[in-house]
Amino acid sequence: MNTDLTSQIIKHIFGGFRIINSTFININSKSLISNSFLLNEKLVFDEDIQAIENNIWACQMLMGQQELKIILGDCSQENNIREIAMVAHLKDAPAYGLYLNIENDIETNPMIACSINGNDWMECNMYLQATFLAGMEQSKEMNMSWSKCQEYSEQHKMLLSFIKFYNLQFDE
């Protein structure tokens, strides 16, 4: 697997949603990590002394007859390491999960995975990564507006399942 290319694909997608800084983004687009997409649910990580609770955001867009939902979780557990997990799910299609660690402007252990059932994940080869990137670019080019997710319990479960899968792959 070409981790450098995987990292660049994830950074491009995250930059397009203004999750991370990027030189190519549209300044007028709304960041996915804005309060308008913030959910009440939290990601909870049990640490030695106390639990860490991080934010989750979700948005949706109607593309023709298909509904695209994206849920994003802050998985950071240390101040100097930013960890971000995202699940994108087009109704009646496989879900894609993206995970990126950023420490001192260096990305480590990037992953793009997919799931048919939202519970069992497999890491994507370059072809599937490119296909997903093309789909995300197409959604951006449609120039339609995103709205906050109203029904996201399925995507929330997928996000938790994907984070668990990721952690098992990297023994975290």
Are the C-beta atoms of residues 155 and 73 closer than 8 Å to each other?
no
Higher per-residue confidence, 86 vs 19: 86
- Going from N- to C-terminal start, the domains of the chain cover 3-169
Per residue in 16-71, pLDDT (tens digit) is 888 887 665 555 567 889 899 999 999 998 877 788 899 999 999 987 788 999 99
What is the phi/psi pair of residue 126, to 5°? -60, -35
User: Any idea how long the chain is?
Assistant: 172
Which is nearest to 41 in space by CA: 27, 28, 26, 58?
58
Around Cβ 26, how many Cβ atoms within 10 Å? 10
- DSSP letter at 143 equals T
74: confidence class by pLDDT, cuts 50, 70, 90: very high
Per residue in 105-162, pLDDT (tens digit) is 788 899 999 999 999 999 999 999 999 999 888 877 776 678 999 899 999 999 999 9
Separation between Cα atoms, residue 42 and residue 52, nearest integer Å = 9
Query: DSSP letters along 36-105, please?
Result: GGEEEEEEEEE-SSSEEEEEEEEEEEEETTEEEEEEEEE---BTTEEEEEEEEEETTS-EEEEEEEEETT
Are the C-beta atoms of residues 144 and 61 closer than 8 Å to each other?
yes
* β-pair partners for 148: 59
